[in-house]
Each structure stands twice: as C-alpha cells, then as structure tokens.
A and B are shown apart, each in its own frame.
Chain A
C-alpha cells in the first residue's frame, strides 16, 4: 500500500514536471525549429537561482519561486534575440550555440555553488493523512502547481490571441507573417514562457529531489523523448507521452533495480519510435 501510493504520487509528479519542461522546449522547437539543447541547463539554473534567493537574500519561498521564474524567463528573451534568431534555419549552428550556452551555464554553477548536492527547503510542511493513506503536502503542492500551470498553458495556447498566433507560426511561419503576425515578438514570448516553465520546474524539482549542476542533462533527455514521441508540431501529444514516460519512470525502478530499469525505459521508447517513425501525433519534417 505504502509502495503503491509512493509510486503513484511519483508518477503524477514526474509526469507533470516532464510535461512542463517539454512544453517549453516544444514551443521554441515548433515555431522556430530551434533544437534547444541548453534547455536542461536553463532548468538547472532556475533551481539554483531559486535556492540563491531563499538562502542568500532570505526571501519567502513562494516569492523566490516567482522571481526565479521571471529572471530565467527574461533570460529566455535575451537568448531568443541574440542566440537563436540569427541562426534560425541553420541546424548545425543552432546546435553549437546551444551547447556553448549549456557549457557556460553549467560551469558557472559549478564554480559558484560547487558540485555538492543541495536542496531547496520544502514549500509546504506536513503530511496529509487519511486512513492508510499518507502523502506529504510537499508532493501534493508540487503536483497541484504543475497541474494548474498545465491547465493555464492549454487555455493560453488554445483560447488567447497570442496562443493562436503561436500556433499559426508553428504551422507556417511565412504565412503567419503575411497575416500581420509579428513573428519575432511571438517567438520572444514563446522563449519567455518556455524558459520560465523550465525554471519553475527546476525550483519544484529542487525541493522535491535535489539540485546538482548536471541534473539538467537528464531532464533534457526526458524533454527530447517527450517531444519526439509526441511528434514534432504536436502539443497535445506531449501530455500523452509525458504520462507514458512518467509511468515508466515511476514504476520500472520498483520492479527492476539499478540502471537496468533505465535501459528498459529507453528501449521501450526506441521501439515506440520505430513503430511510428514520425511520432504519435505529429508529422514528418525535414530540417
């Protein structure tokens, strides 16, 4: 019973965090074809900035969460303007600039904070108890924030003017520009939201698990798995892929110990990809 509850809360939290990070990645990717390999590093830096604000400036955790998100989101606008926009359409240079950004961010964190594992203080204390079920409020809060944000994102993309403009650019950039959509401004907005979501997930995961300078690499791979399994150009597919990957990552380590469970997870992902080479909800695309 204890194990089942731990596994299912793990599943919900991991799924929502994976989806949050992958959505940010997918916004940039669908609109500009930017394969942002620095997204994992941005997620990691978000967590560290949150920790810095709490421990050094001594501010409230919730304010720190908000501030870290806004700072990284502003950094996203900078990235879009100076690092992504000049290279749109040139895959090789985009990869190079993203690797350079990731290396710079990781080394900076390494120098400032060191490689030792740190953790954010929990956002909510206490344990929720009902009969046999006991879940810490921290986990409930993490999942609740993640789920609420995902709802807001769905509403934003489908119902607001900016979200619809983003979808239009993802479908056809030139066509959207001809309709009077300011492609650069909407791209900057997408980068703002994407990096902000990554930073927020970094703070939440920093409290739920731990912080480390290289934690972004793993998250980047999860985001790539989600985007590729969903299919390029698909937002709703990311939710399905996120639930599948979250379930695998939460359940398999219980059944198989050690690195073998990761090997099984990746093998399942490869088989799924080979069954449908263009992803489950997307389309095949040349870059």
Chain B
C-alpha cells in the first residue's frame, strides 16, 4: 500500500516533451467526434472521461497513504446532491455541477477528520462501511432520492434533443481541467507533504507535518473531483440509481487505478481507457464481457507488477537490455 515514490527526474529530452505529448493526445481525442459520429461511441467516450476524473482523484487520495473504498459512493453524493438541487430547487445545472463537487468535498472532509484516527486497512474498511451507509441512505430516502427505483426527471445540461457532441467537449474539457489541477496539486508543497506522510507518518509528523490536517485535505480534494464527476454524470444520464455507486463501482474505480499503475499520474487514465473501452468493443459477446475485464486484470497482475505504465520499461528490459542487470523492480 505504501509504495508511492517521489517522481523520478525525467530521463533526457527537454522538459517540454511530456506536456507536448499530453497536448497532442488531447488534440487527437478532440478531433475524434469528427470521425466517429455514432452516438453510442461518443456515449462510451463521455462515460470514460467521467470515470477518468474519478479514478485520477482517487489516486490523489492514495498518494497520501490512505486507501479509500468509498470513492464510488462520493461520486454518488455529488450526483444526488446536484440532481436533487437541480430538480427540487430548479437551479441551473451549470451551477449544480460545481456545487455537487463542493457537497462531496464537505462530506468527505467532515468524515475524513474522525477517520484520520484509522490507518492502513482499518481506514480502508472504515471508508468502505461509510460508502455502504451512503448507499443505504440513498435507498432509504423515499421520494427525495427516489429510493430503490431511482431518481428521474433531472434537468439536462444542454437542452433536450442536443446531440452528444457538446457533452463530449464539455466532459473532455472538464477532464483536462481536473487533470491539470490535480497534477499541480500532486507536485505542490502539499502533495510532497502527502507523499511524506504515506512513506512514514511518524517521520512526517516529527518534522512538523500535521498528519491529520493533510490527510483530511487530500480526502477533500479527491472527493471534490469525485463529486464533480458524479454531478456531471447525473446531468448527462438524467437517471440515477443507488446501485451505480455501490461497492462494486468503487472496486472498479480502484481497479482502474491499480491496473494503470498507482505510482504514476498517467496510470489511472490509461487504466480507465483500457478497462472501459476494450470490454465495450467486445460488447457483442454480451454476458461474457466481464470475462474480458477479468482477463485484463489477470494479465496485468501476473505480467506487469507495476501496472500498465511499466509496460515500456518491461519490454525494454526484456528484449533490448538483456545483458544489463537493470530489471523491472517489484514492489519496493
């Protein structure tokens, strides 16, 4: 669990290589709607953007040495918060989407403070139980939350009848802005302090880092973006049900992060794209599709110890540097 490392210095090249590659990828994704006009394909990409925001924000919390199993539920808090305000108070979705993020952030920080007492596995399980409690409250909410039958009649972000293209660009923009913010956060002074806490909370507090404060801060930032993603989801799909944000949804978010590689910022993005898009391309197999997801998980687990991001390094060390002693290291 505590295998976060400080970022390694970039090997060679100029400092503009990585931003240039990232910008190129964003441009390619931005011109995709011109080539792929099928609404279903766009729908899958929109969902992928939403889940990448949640996965990357989940990784932000993991870098602080906490392993939350309530992130899907916090997406649900943002989604239901935004949807209920928009539906019952009639506020504009442009206002309720950031508000959904703030609600999730508030609840995350409120619960994060007492939970800062818990460490390691006890924290993971405590957050899991809290996520369950959120889902049960949603189910028990009666007509306010729609209960078991789900919440319908949520105002859409763009007028009804609009094609998927505006949604595509909105969520692409939201994702890019979220990534920039979270990247900046991770390599800020606060982010470095979080990594110090993850490595050793005793050493970190001995040099004057307020452990509880920073852990709550990490949870707040992570939950804000989870809530944002959930609120966007609510105003995009217009129908919510508690099961969308249940324990299994959380577990899949964790899988997106772990399969990509928890040690690198790009990991959760790659992981989400792989685990959402590949099963979707094989959707003709219908009920056999979960086997594909499980197969991808098993391949990554047995072959790539550090996740998909370690694949280039793995190939290099296996085929091109056979003589050298440098190997892909397992968990430190």
B185 at the interface (CB under 8 A from A): no
Are B129 and A269 in touch, CB under 8 angstroms?
yes
Contact of B251 with A260 in the complex, beta carbons under 8 Å: no
Closest CB of chain A to B254's CB: distance in Å? 7
Would you give the shortest CB distance from B232 to chain A, in whole angstroms?
Answer: 26
Question: Is the C-beta of B301 less than 8 angstroms from some C-beta in chain A?
Answer: yes
Q: How far is the CA of A285 from the CA of B122 in the complex (A)?
A: 9
CB distance from A156 to the nearest CB of B (A): 26
Whether A217 contacts B126 in the complex (CB less than 8 A), given A96-B297, A263-B136, comes out as: no
B114 touches which of A100, A103, A263, A274 (Cβ 8 Å): A274
How near does chain A come to B261, taking the closest CB pair, in angstroms?
10
How far does the Cβ of B263 sit from chain A's closest Cβ, in whole Å?
Answer: 10
- Contact for A96 among B119, B133, B248, B258, CB less than 8 A: B258
A231-287 with Cβ < 8 A to chain B: 232, 258-260, 262-263, 266-267, 269-270, 273-274, 277-279, 284-287
Q: Mark A100-143, 1 if CB is under 8 A from B, else 0.
A: 11011011001100000000000000000000000000000000
Enumerate chain B residues within 8 angstroms of A228, measured Cβ to Cβ.
121-122, 125-126
Q: B258–A95 contact, CB under 8 A? A: yes
Interface string of B268-305 (1 = CB under 8 A from A): 00000000000000000001101101110110111001
Q: Which of A18-26, A85-93, A172-180 contacts B (4 or more CB under 8 A)?
A: A85-93
- Chain A residues lying within 8 Å of B132, measured Cβ to Cβ, are 221, 262, 266
B142's closest neighbor in chain A, by CB? A258
- Given A92-B258, A263-B133, the answer on whether A104 and B291 have CB atoms closer than 8 Å is yes
Contact between A103 and B122, CB atoms less than 8 A apart: no
Contact of A90 among B128, B139, B295, B331 (CB under 8 A): B331
Q: Is A45 an interface residue (CB 8 A)?
A: no
Q: B140-154 toward A: CB 8 Å interface, digit per residue (1/0)? A: 100000011000000
Chain B hits for A86, CB < 8 A: 302
CB distance from A107 to the nearest CB of B (A): 4
Q: B126, B139, B248, B259: which contacts A270 (Cβ < 8 A)?
A: B126
Residue A35 lies at the interface, judged by CB distance under 8 Å to chain B: yes
B125 touches A100 (CB 8 A): no
Min distance, Cβ B192 to any Cβ of chain A, angstroms: 22
Query: Does A67 interact with chain B (Cβ within 8 Å)?
Result: no
CB of B262 within 8 Å of the partner chain: yes
In the docked arrangement, what's the CA distance between A225 and B124, Å?
12
User: Contact partner of B290 among A37, A103, A258, A267, CB < 8 A?
Assistant: A103
Cβ-defined contact, A96 with B128, below 8 A: no
Count of chain A to chain B residue pairs whose CB atoms are closer than 8 Å in the complex? 126
- The residue on B at minimum CB distance from A282 is B122
Interface string of B103-125 (1 = CB under 8 A from A): 00000000000110111111001
Tell me if B183 counts as interface (CB < 8 A to partner A): no
Question: Is A95 in contact with B254, judged by CB distance below 8 angstroms?
Answer: yes
A96 to B331, CA, bound (A): 15
Query: Cβ of B294 and Cβ of A92 under 8 Å apart?
Result: no
Q: Does B247 contact A (CB under 8 A)?
A: yes
Instruction: Kindly provide the distance from the CB of B293 to the nearest chain A CB, expressed in whole angstroms.
Output: 6
A99, B129: Cβ atoms closer than 8 Å: no
Contact (Cβ within 8 A) B301 A96? yes
B214 interfacial by beta-carbon distance below 8 Å: no
Asked whether, in the complex, the Cβ of B125 is within 8 Å of the Cβ of A273, the reply is yes
On chain B, the residues within 8 Å of A100 by CB distance are: 294-295, 297-298, 301
- Contact status A277-B122, CB under 8 Å: yes
Across the interface, do B133 and A107 meet the contact criterion of CB distance under 8 Å?
Answer: no
Structural contact, B294 and A103, CB atoms closer than 8 A: yes
Q: How far is the CA of A270 from the CA of B114 in the complex (A)?
A: 10
29 A-B residue contacts at CB 8 Å? A35-B121, A90-B331, A93-B301, A96-B300, A96-B301, A97-B301, A100-B295, A101-B294, A111-B288, A221-B128, A225-B125, A259-B140, A263-B133, A263-B140, A266-B130, A266-B132, A266-B136, A269-B129, A270-B126, A270-B130, A273-B118, A273-B126, A274-B114, A274-B118, A274-B126, A277-B117, A279-B122, A284-B119, A286-B120
Residues in B lying within 8 Å of A, measured CB to CB: 1-3, 67, 114-115, 117-122, 125-126, 128-130, 132-133, 136-137, 139-140, 147-148, 247-248, 251, 254-255, 258-259, 262, 287-288, 290-291, 293-295, 297-298, 300-302, 305, 330-331
Rank and list the top 6 A-B pairs by shortest CB-CB distance, nearest first: A259-B139, A263-B136, A260-B140, A100-B297, A259-B140, A107-B290
Contacts A91-B1, A96-B255, A100-B298 known; 18 new A-B pairs at CB < 8 A: A37-B251, A93-B301, A95-B254, A99-B255, A99-B297, A106-B290, A107-B288, A217-B248, A225-B129, A258-B140, A259-B136, A259-B148, A270-B130, A270-B133, A273-B122, A286-B120, A287-B120, A287-B121
